[in-house]
Amino acid sequence: MARVVSYMEQGENHKPSFDPKLLNPTFFMAEGSLLSNMTMGNAMIMRGREDYFFSWDYSFDHHNEYEMDLGWKHYFNPNISSVVGYRWTNEHGLKDRAFAGVEYRLPFLIYSTATIDSEGDARFLLEKDFQITSRLSASPSLQYDTASKWEYGIFADYMLNAQFSLTAGYESEHGMGLGIKFRF
């Protein structure tokens, strides 16, 4: 956020000059978890209304199953964005596919996603972060995919510092796990 103050003495046709670096800065963000049963996370490059992302989900105990998404989001406003990408997976009965959809922020900061992929399968996702104390948070999620059916999970994180948290949780596909979460 920024505020520009201009004074009348500068003339009524005065246009303040902006440093070009401040108009549309580029940010990088990554967050991941390494648990006893799986690893998951995402990385993003954000610039203006555009996000370029990579997300992963890898199971250590279920035949080394993985799912990775590479994609692009465009924000129309703070609540709604379009998403397009490609998904790689080795899950039983599924194959790699392109996907497209919409993300919408519901009331109470519940994040929803609806996508359809190139094989005709639809995926719906709801997730919410609850900040319980200044260091403790909980994150439930619920997903329905027409190919793999229902998936759900809940994770609790205890923040050690700005970069690391202890995490524990249950994920319906991967079971219970303990580990560490990192972010930068």
Q: How many domains does the chain have?
A: 1
> Residue 132 falls within a domain, yes or no?
yes
**Identity of the residue numbered 2:** A
Do residues 57 and 67 make contact, with C-beta atoms less than 8 angstroms apart? yes
With b meaning 16 or more CB within 10 Å and e meaning fewer, what string describes 116-149? ebeeeeebebeeeeeeeeeeebeeebebebebbe
pLDDT level of residue 12 (50, 70, 90 thresholds): confident
> Residue 11 falls within a domain, yes or no?
no
Q: For residue 111, give every residue at least 6 positions away whose Cβ sits within 8 Å of its Cβ, in sequence order, or none.
A: 103, 104, 105, 125, 126, 127, 128
> Residue 53 falls within a domain, yes or no?
yes
> Residue 77 falls within a domain, yes or no?
yes
**Residue matched to tokens 């948290």:** 165
> Residue 19 falls within a domain, yes or no?
no
> Residue 138 falls within a domain, yes or no?
yes
pLDDT value at position 1? 52
pLDDT value at position 70? 98
Q: Between the CA atoms of 177, 150, 120 and 92, what dihedral angle is there, to the nearest 10 degrees?
A: 50
d(CA 114, CA 123): 6
Share of the chain above pLDDT 70, in %: 92
> Residue 179 falls within a domain, yes or no?
yes
**Where in the sequence is the domain holding 114, given as residue range(s)?**
25-183
Instruction: Write the pLDDT tens digit of every residue in 31-79.
Output: 999 999 999 999 999 998 999 999 999 998 767 889 999 999 999 999 9
> Residue 73 falls within a domain, yes or no?
yes
pLDDT value at position 115? 97
Q: What is the CATH number of the domain that holds 131?
A: 2.40.160
